[in-house]
Structures are given as C-alpha cells and as structure tokens.
C-alpha cells in the first residue's frame, strides 16, 4: 500500500472517530472559548479599583480634583453613593475604599492651604490596596500641575518603547489563544493516541505492515486540522467580541496553524505515555493554568524574576505566547527572537513524536 493511501486511510479513520465523539470535540472547543472569556475577567479587575467618592465640598477645586482622579492611570472606578451606602459596601468587600473630600476643600486650596483628603481602605487585597496607595499621589500631582501651584520643582518625563499601550484585555486574550492551542490541540492529540490503547488497536497497529509514522501522521493531521478550526473560532471571538484586530493577519494564521500542529504532537506524546483519555484530559487541563500564568501571559515573564523566567522555559505555552503576541500586537514578550520560540516548539514536538512512535512500537499494550 502506498504511503499516500495509508495516510489518507488513517486520516479518514481518525475523522470518523472524531465524528463519533463529536460531543467530546464540541465540548473541547467550548472549553477553549470559555477559557478565553473567563481569563479576560481577570483583566476586568486588574485596574479601576471601585472607590466610593463622598464629596462634601462640591466646589470647583473638588471638581478639578475628581477629574484628576480620573486621569490617574486607569486607577479608580469612582462611585457616587451616600456615606451610609459606602460604609455598608466597604464592610462587605464591595469597595476597595471610601474617599472623602472635606467641606471647605475648594476654599482652603484656593487660599493656598494644604488639605488632607481621607481614604478608608479595605486592605483585604494587597494588590488593589497598593494600586490605590500609589494612584492617589499620582492624582494629587496631576491636580497640582494643572492648577499650576507654585513650589514644585521636579516632574517625571516618560519615554515609551511602544508607540501605544496595549490594553490589558487585548494582551490577555491573545495569550489566552496560546492556552487554547494547548488545551484543544493537546486534548485531541492525546485522544488520538490514547484511543489506540483503550480500544486495544495498538497491537493491530504493530502487526500492520504499514509505516507507523505515516499512520500517526494521518491521525494527527486530522486532530490538528480540527484544533486549528476551533482556534480560528476563538480568533473570531477575539476580533468580533473583543474588537482586537491582529496587526499581521496572515502571520497570525500561520503561527496559529503551527501551534495547532505542534501542540497536537505534544498531546499525542502525552496520550501515548498515559494511554488513557480520562487521565490525559485532566492532566492537560491541570497543566493549562500554571503553564498559562508562568508563560508571560499577563506580562513578559522575565519581569517576575530570573527563577520564574527559567522555569517558564519548561512550558511550551511560553514560546507560543511569544510568537502569538508578536503576530497579533507586534510585541516582543520573550527575550529570545521569535524564530527561536518557534524552533523550540518544533523541537519539543519532534521529541513528542519520537516518544509516541516509540510507545506505539514497543510500549506496554495497556
């Protein structure tokens, strides 16, 4: 039998198996889109601390100060509520703080006096607490500069590397795509190989005169194709729902295609080692979150320290995030060049294929 026919027959068999398990495949794709949406929730609370504003002054300076609070680097989601409502919300964790502008604020400021503004902080969440503690001086500085008060001598001059900031959610959802690639392609790849042991067809495969490599290529090409389609569905969600447009659409599609193929190969290796879908699927899901966060999904991972950065190199998602953030936003989030990220993924996938072929050839039958 020619190699082409073996490949096509194997692919057709895999396709029919996926059709038979279409519920499972559909749920895998749903999990991918869900992950994308759910991780973006983290982005929604990464900034804009909900703070109640109690303005007892209502004067022009108070108004100007509130405007400065709004300019303090996406820090505050100000809520105008009564004092009683504010205290109740603060006591039940619904607010980070209550900011009070005292009566006579405008008059005192206008006559050159310094006025204290009180803030009550629910310091239960250290991240939000620190954001508020740092943001208030930023707002005060903005207020002082805009009112052109005399006596300030120094200012900060910012020079940015990127022409514009990338929003947190646009950044997160693109790195979420790398997570999706790992989950969808990993699960489908694992299922393709683990099934050989579950159905005990691995023995037949060993007895067959056909090349195991070609049979495996046929199976995995279908898994990768399905994973790619599911990933494109996630891209549609990113473009249509989040309004994030890739700066290089062609490159994005190519990188996603590469991720689909490479993670399918990695999943196949996992399936061949674990030999059970039930074990492989939770394993992929269990690894997904730690791999996601350690791979520069929230910011370039080297900013979190050398130790974590070194550990990140063990995660294939690290390299995928590097390639995808570059393709989507033009960002370099790994110190390594993009071609190195892709080459490492190819290397990992090659090792996984060798492991899979080894297991198919000589591994235990169950």
Partner 1 sequence: MIGSVWGMARNDLAVWRRSPAAIAGALLPALGMAVLVAVLTVSVGQQPVALVVQGTGPLAKHMADILREDEDAYLLEEMTEPQAEQAFAVQKVAAIIVVPEDFDQRVEATDGAVDLYLNNVDIDLSDDLRRSVTRSVAQFDAPQLSLTGELRNIASGMLLPNPYRVNVAEHDLRDTNVSFLQYQVIPIIVLIIITVGMLGTALLTARDFERGTAKLLVLSPARRSTLVMGRLLGGVVLTLMLVAPLIAAGYLTHYIERCEAGARLWVMLLLSAPCGWMLPPVSWTHALALIALLIAVTAMTVGFGTLLGVALRDVPLVTMSGLNVAAFLFFLGGGFTTVAFLPPWLQTLSRFVPTSYAIEGLRQALFYPDLTGFGRDLSVLTGCAVASVALASLALSRAWSRR
Q: Which of positions 324-343 make contact with partner 1 (CB under 8 A)?
A: 331, 333-335
CA-CA-CA-CA torsion sign (169, 172, 177, 183):
negative
Q: Which of residues 240-279 bind partner 1 (CB under 8 A)?
A: 276-279
Residue whose CB is less far from partner 1, 307 or 362: 307
d(CA 261, CA 221): 8
**C-alpha of 99 from chain center:** 33
Closer residue to partner 1 in complex, CB, 60/305: 305
Q: Is 114 in the site for partner 1 (CB under 8 A)?
A: yes
Residue whose C-alpha is closest to residue 62's, from 94, 101, 35, 95: 101
Please work out, in degrees rounded to the nearest 5, the angle formed at the alpha carbon of residue 289 by the alpha carbons of 283 and 293: 140
Q: Which is nearer to partner 1, 153 or 362 (CB)?
A: 153
Q: Is residue 112 near partner 1 by the rule CB under 8 A?
A: yes
Determine if residue 339 is left, alpha or beta; phi over 0 gives left, psi from -120 to 50 gives alpha, anything else beta.
alpha
Q: What is residue 169's three-state secondary structure?
A: helix
Single out the segment in contact with partner 1 by CB under 8 A; choices: 10-18, 211-219, 306-314, 348-356: 306-314
The residue within the footprint of partner 1, chosen from 113, 199, 200, 366 (CB under 8 A), is: 113
> Where in 120-139 is the site for partner 1 (CB under 8 A)?
120-131, 133-138
Q: Which is nearer to partner 1, 2 or 307 (CB)?
A: 307
Q: Does 19 bind partner 1 (CB under 8 A)?
A: no
Residue 99 or 259: the one with the smaller Cβ distance to partner 1 is 99
For the record, the structure tokens of 226 come out as: 């399905």
Measuring CA to CA, which residue among 106, 97, 98 is closest to residue 57?
106
Note whether 78 binds partner 1 by CB under 8 A. no
Stretch that binds partner 1, among 202-210, 265-273, 300-308, 350-358 (CB under 8 A): 300-308
Binding to partner 1 by CB under 8 A, coded x per residue (else -) over 55-74, reads: ----------x------xxx
Question: Does residue 143 interact with partner 1 by CB under 8 A?
Answer: yes
**Residue 161 interacts with partner 1 (CB under 8 A)?**
yes
Phi first, then psi: what are they for 247, rounded to 5°? -75, -25
Residue 6 is a binding residue for partner 1 (CB under 8 A): no
| Cβ count near 290 (within 10 Å) | 12
Size of the site for partner 1 (CB under 8 A): 118
Q: Tell me: does residue 148 bind partner 1 (CB under 8 A).
A: no
**Residues contacting residue 267 through CB under 8 Å, at least 6 positions apart:** 185, 186, 187, 188, 189, 190, 191, 192, 193, 223, 280, 284
In the bound state with partner 1, the residue whose beta carbon lies nearer, of 157 and 207, is 157
- Give buried/exposed letters for 326-353 (b at 16+ CB in 10 A, else e): bbbbebebbeeebeebbebbeebbeebb
Quick one: which of 91, 243, 249, 337 contacts partner 1 (CB under 8 A)?
91
46 contributes a contact to partner 1 by CB under 8 A: yes
**Residue whose structure tokens are 């983290």:** 42
Of 6-14, 148-156, 220-228, 355-363, which segment contacts partner 1 by CB under 8 A? Answer: 148-156
């Amino acid at each position: 039998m020619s190699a082409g026919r073996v490949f096509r027959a194997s692919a057709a068999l895999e396709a029919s198996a996926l059709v038979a398990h279409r519920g499972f495949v559909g749920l895998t794709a749903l999990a991918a889109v869900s992950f994308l949406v759910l991780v973006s929730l983290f982005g929604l609370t990464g900034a804009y601390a909900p703070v109640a504003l109690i303005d007892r002054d209502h004067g022009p300076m108070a108004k100007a100060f509130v405007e400065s609070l709004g300019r303090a680097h996406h820090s505050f989601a100000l809520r105008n509520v009564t004092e009683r409502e504010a205290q109740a919300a603060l006591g039940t964790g619904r607010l980070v703080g209550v900011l009070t502008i005292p009566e006579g604020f405008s008059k005192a400021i206008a006559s050159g006096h310094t006025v204290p503004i009180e803030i009550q902080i629910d310091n239960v969440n250290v991240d939000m607490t620190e954001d508020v503690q740092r943001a208030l001086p930023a707002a005060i500085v903005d207020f002082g500069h805009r009112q052109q008060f005399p006596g300030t001598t120094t200012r900060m001059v910012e020079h940015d590397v990127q022409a514009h900031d990338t929003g947190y959610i646009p950044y997160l959802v693109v790195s979420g795509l790398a997570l999706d690639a790992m989950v969808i392609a990993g699960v489908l790849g694992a299922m393709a190989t683990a099934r050989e042991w579950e159905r005990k067809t691995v023995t037949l495969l060993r007895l067959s005169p056909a090349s195991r490599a070609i049979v495996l290529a046929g199976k995995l090409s279908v898994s990768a194709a399905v994973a790619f389609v599911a990933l494109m569905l996630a891209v549609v969600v990113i473009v249509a729902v989040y309004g994030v447009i890739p700066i290089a659409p062609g490159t994005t599609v190519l990188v996603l295609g590469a991720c689909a193929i490479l993670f399918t190969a990695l999943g196949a290796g996992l399936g061949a080692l674990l030999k059970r879908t039930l074990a492989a699927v939770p394993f992929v899901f269990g690894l997904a979150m730690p791999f996601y966060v350690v791979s520069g999904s929230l910011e370039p991972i080297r900013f979190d320290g050398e130790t974590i950065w070194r550990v990140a190199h063990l995660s294939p998602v690290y390299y995928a995030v590097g390639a995808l953030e570059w393709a989507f936003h033009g960002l370099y989030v790994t110190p390594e060049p993009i071609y190195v990220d892709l080459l490492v993924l190819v290397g990992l996938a090659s090792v996984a294929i060798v492991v899979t072929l080894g297991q198919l050839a000589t591994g235990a039958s169950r």
